[in-house]
Structure 1
Amino acid sequence: MPPVRGVRSYFTITGKQAQCNSCGKKVSFSGNTTNLWKHLKLHHKILPETRIQCSPSELMQDSSSTSSNSESSTRPSSSTSCSPTPRPSSTLSYNMSSRSASPSFGQSEIISSRTSTPMPIIQPNLDAMFANEKSFKAVGERADSLEDALLYMVCVDNLKLSTPEKPGFLHFAKVAVPLWTPPSRSTLTSRLEVKFAAKSEIVRNILSKIPAICQTLDCWTERHTTSSYLGVTAHFQLEMEINSVMLGIELLTSSHTSEYLTEQILELCGKWGVSPNRVSICVTDSAANIVKAARNVFGDSKHMPCFAHTLNPYALGKTEGTMLRLSQDVITRWGSTYETCEKFLAMEEIISVAATKFPEVKMLSGLELQTLKFLRDIIRPFYLATKEVSEEKNTTLSKVIPIVRMISDKLQNTDLPYIPNTTGEETKNIAGIRSNLKAFLVAEMNRRFGDLEEKKSRAL
């Protein structure tokens, strides 16, 4: 194979002009090879990435055939006798000169891949370039996919709808996708409504094919806005997997009577095509108004009080006068009392040292710390039971009776800590708190769950 020829070998250079040896056309020459390559590319289809390994006569023949079709042809003919080969790179030259004749493992593959015929470089035509730019416009395909991804990010990450208008996001979008203009807040809101309507139709079709649905109802009031809401969630099995769908969170604008809640529940179920006869179980807390509303809609036999709601309000320190209260205790968060006691006892020594630096801080006495440990141990079963039944992907109804039985046995077998001195006032108060707490928990367990095994829905 003849050696690779340089670009100057195709021209006869005289002063500031260079005459092509194949077609005779003269081009300006000022020392660099830009104009020479431009001439070879336009008239002889020779790119800077390739060199021609052929004789001058073959080049003349190829030039005469390509010059006549220069305006209609965009690629070299497959019948041309000149074959392009890649320009050797400095890396390849170094490897061949500094290595032995027999390449090491993998080197022969690298050399063969670099010396093989490269793929032809195809420049996109104007139609393709304009089509790519139009795809990023407001109605383009790429713009739609980017806006869908942006909407997904806003919903999943709980971001504001004004996120696309923030300066930081606009800078990121300009750097990442320069041709794309992020949507405004109003546009994103409109797309969210359209997306919600489409997804709602999908969920409505799925729910229409489910023969048995379990619903959970709950009412609450936001502390910051003092607004009340009704939340309805549907649970069902689809393809051997338990799924949950939030059917709606309705703003309550009237008094929370059972009749008003009944109307709201029926309206929400009708919106999703869930008839009351397809609801097998409805779970609520123990509030009288929501219980009455659930029974009005689904019937007495289908209503079931939430085990976690029934277990927690009295078991985790929400009743006055039954236990010592800490400032970290949050009345609306289940398990906060147990977690407060656990953390306090774990940091008992550190808190004792820190309390000596603040005279106004009164550290717990030895009897109080002992009572706190007793409190932590006696409410621990309730804390673990709450975590056990607070699942969404697994059924927990079958666990209720065994859990209640184990908690009852634990309470019955719990002994009160021994107090050596019972004459002091503090000692009598501590002893009363311990005994009253145990008696209260045992009595409440019997009152709330005494007939649990007689209920068919939980005994099966």
Structure 2
Amino acid sequence: MASGGRSQVWEHFTKGPSGTVTCNICTASVSQGSGSLKFKNTSNLWAHLKSKHKEMYEKRQKEAQPTTSSLMNMTQPNLKQVLEKTTKWTPNDPRTQEMDKLLMEMIATDILPFTVVEGAGFKRVMAKAEPRYPLKTDTFFRAKKMDEIYTGVVNKIKKLLSVENAGNIISFTTDCWSGSNEALMSLTAHFIDKNWKKVQLVLNVKSLSQSHTGQYIGETFLSMLEEWEIDEERVMLVLRDSGVNMVKGMRLVEMPDLSCSAHILHLAINDGLSSQRVVVDILAKLKKIATHFNHSVTAQQRLSKIQEELGVPQHSIIQAVQTRWNSTLHMLVRMIEQKRAITAYASDHGHFSCLSAEEWSIASNLAETLGPLEEVTLEFSREDSSTSCIIPCLAVLQRLLESEGPTTRGIQTTRKFMLDSLQKRFAKVKDAKEVVLACALDPRYKERPLVPEILVKVKTWLKEAMETSPPDYATQTPSEETDPKRPRTEDQVPSLLDSLYDTVLLPSTSEAVEPEGIIEELERYFREPVIDRKSGNPYDWWKHNTNRFTRLSVLARQYLSCPPSSVASERVFSTIGNIYEDRRSSLKGENAEKLCFLYYNLPLLDWSY
């Protein structure tokens, strides 16, 4: 049968416009048996083909015969085949075990309650998708399958943490969190692997059973290291918040630690925002406006109508949140965008006092100042960021807050207090050995942001580090040289922050010291141009230049592994909050720890363990 249900015989005949049928082989006219369309058939066409063109007729008849395989497919299934399609798989069937594994991974990575497998909707889907799968209870996944998968992932993570892969040095972040039912302590690991890839792992979300004293926090930290078979000597740096107990805990167990840069920046910015009365009053007015719209559906509907009439973007009003300083910036930007709509609303409906023209001008200037500060906050919070960015960021912010111009009018006091607070709060951080060496060993910055007296310390610290650092042969692999210079594209307009970075990263004018040993290598490294701050990847640069700087590359792999903040640990607690939702409010801390661990690490391992 030809495609579309048309007889194969028509491949040898053509129907003309008048309805006559002509043989394509001998051009003879052949009748279809009736003048009526309803009773026409192809019998005469086949008869003509058989009598006049027998060879072609036999060929077509042979092609029309069903094959043995098609006849077999048309036969009814036997009892075994029927049972195969309807019989439930056994618990030990590999297909059952694979489905169990996939469902547990789904529960962990999608943050679903275990009881999802008991739901009527889930059972209907499984009955349709794979009726042979024997459904399991939530207890099976909670008490058995989760532990099996957790154990497999733990073993894979331990291999990643081995000296052969992670090197001799690992950095960590840690933080504490208290919920309604549990108190937890997080631990994340950060290192550069043998392929110069920066890796971040969530190791623990440990349930705390005692008061959060410094001693208990320190002991818990050591117990987590021991659980992962990590020697204390491998700890490069521990990033933590500035809480008294956390600081004391790290000091008691003699761990090299550093305050979270994002948290310090948050405090310094808040110091500035609270220092000037006019700024405090403006922010209070804007918060009151935001509260009005966020608490009233009617107000939102009225505002939306005004936005449409004025041609203003139909965006919601943003409220500032005390725990995130950049929400204040987002509120300012949105209020300025909606200035006309808010003013019109206040005129028509009242409920709040709108800002004066002078106050709107100050709010605009404040947003201009806070914009670059948010860029630095995001730089501190990125997963691939290193402590190397701290000193350059501080140098840029200092220049930003010291500058004066039309956009600083009305907020000079705020900027001055912000600058003073930054210098005071970061005083110890910017002089820390781990921070300074990370900056010097980052090909985007090198010695450019460092003052001469600190540069002298760099050389001393590098000599000491080479003497005390064990050899790290994983970094000494063959590589090809690459051009370290990656210029910015011509059509890219530099922002204010970019321009300030360009000034900070100008070549140093300090006199060179007579090179010797690692210092010779350092001077040669410093003489090369820095790579582009935005497009350049320091880890790729070192990967391709390891053989050219064999000593420095060992140290670069260690010092560039440190993150600038403890945001990684704080993000873990955001996930914990989602895990402890209403449907899982009674979840045990141990199970929450395992779910959080799997949530982060299963995708990292690409579900292969």
TM range (shorter): 0.5 to 0.7
Q: Measure the CA separation in 2 of the matches of 1:444 and 1:112.
A: 93
Q: Measure the CA separation in 2 of the matches of 1:204 and 1:268.
A: 13
Cα displacement string for residues 409-437 of structure 1 (whole angstroms, at most 9, x for unaligned residues): 01000336697xxxxxxxxxxx5xx2321
Question: What's the TM-score once normalised by structure 2's chain length?
Answer: 0.52
RMSD: 3.1
- After TM superposition, give the deviation of residue 112 of structure 1 in Å: 11
Inter-CA distance 141–153: structure 2 relative to 1 (3 Å threshold): same
Which structure has the greater CA radius of gyration? 1
Inter-CA distance 112–315: structure 2 relative to 1 (3 Å threshold): farther
Contact 1:277 1:298 in 2 (8 A): no
- After TM superposition, give the deviation of residue 449 of structure 1 in Å: 2.8
Bigger mean CA offset, 228-237 vs 199-208:
199-208
Aligned to 1:447: 424
Cα displacement string for residues 46-68 of structure 1 (whole angstroms, at most 9, x for unaligned residues): xxxxxxxxxxxxxxxxxxxxxxx
Contact 2:187 2:205 in 1 (8 A): yes
Contact 1:312 1:382 in 2 (8 A): no
Structure 1: tracts of 5 or more residues without a match: 1-87, 103-110, 420-430
- After TM superposition, give the deviation of residue 192 of structure 1 in Å: 0.9
| 2:212 corresponds to 1:212 | no
- After TM superposition, give the deviation of residue 141 of structure 1 in Å: 1.6
Aligned to 2:137: 184
Q: How does 1:260-279 map to 2 (within 5 A)?
A: 260-279=216-235
Contact 2:239 2:258 in 1 (8 A): yes
Bigger relative CO (Cα 8 Å, ≥ 6 apart): 2
| 2:397 corresponds to 1:407 | yes
SS in 2 for 1:249: strand
Cα displacement string for residues 100-122 of structure 1 (whole angstroms, at most 9, x for unaligned residues): 669xxxxxxxx999879564738
Q: Measure the CA separation in 2 of the matches of 1:213 and 1:183.
A: 41
Of 325, 337, 344, the match for 1:353: 344
Q: Measure the CA separation in 1 of the matches of 2:12 and 2:105.
A: 55
Q: How does 1:215-226 map to 2 (within 5 A)?
A: 215-222=172-179, 225=180
Contact 2:275 2:417 in 1 (8 A): no
- After TM superposition, give the deviation of residue 206 of structure 1 in Å: 2.9
Inter-CA distance 440–268: structure 2 relative to 1 (3 Å threshold): same
Cα displacement string for residues 345-385 of structure 1 (whole angstroms, at most 9, x for unaligned residues): 11111111111233231111112111111211112121010
| 2:331 corresponds to 1:340 | yes
Q: Measure the CA separation in 1 of the matches of 2:186 and 2:254.
A: 16
Of 353, 362, 380, the match for 1:362: 353
Q: Measure the CA separation in 2 of the matches of 1:441 and 1:157.
A: 41
Contact 1:135 1:142 in 2 (8 A): no
Aligned to 1:63: none
SS in 2 for 1:194: helix
Inter-CA distance 348–442: structure 2 relative to 1 (3 Å threshold): same
Contact 1:135 1:141 in 2 (8 A): no
Q: How does 1:416-427 map to 2 (within 5 A)?
A: none
Question: What's the TM-score once normalised by structure 1's chain length?
Answer: 0.68
- After TM superposition, give the deviation of residue 167 of structure 1 in Å: 0.8
Q: How does 1:286-301 map to 2 (within 5 A)?
A: 286-299=242-255
| 2:188 corresponds to 1:233 | yes
Q: Relative to total residues, which structure has the larger strand share, 1 or 2?
A: 1
Contact 1:138 1:144 in 2 (8 A): yes
Q: Relative to total residues, which structure has the larger helix share, 1 or 2?
A: 2
Structure 2: tracts of 5 or more residues without a match: 14-23, 26-60, 288-318, 438-609
SS in 2 for 1:333: coil
Q: Measure the CA separation in 2 of the matches of 1:113 and 1:437.
A: 90
| 2:148 corresponds to 1:198 | no
Aligned to 2:553: none
| 2:116 corresponds to 1:160 | no
Contact 2:271 2:417 in 1 (8 A): no
- After TM superposition, give the deviation of residue 179 of structure 1 in Å: 1.7
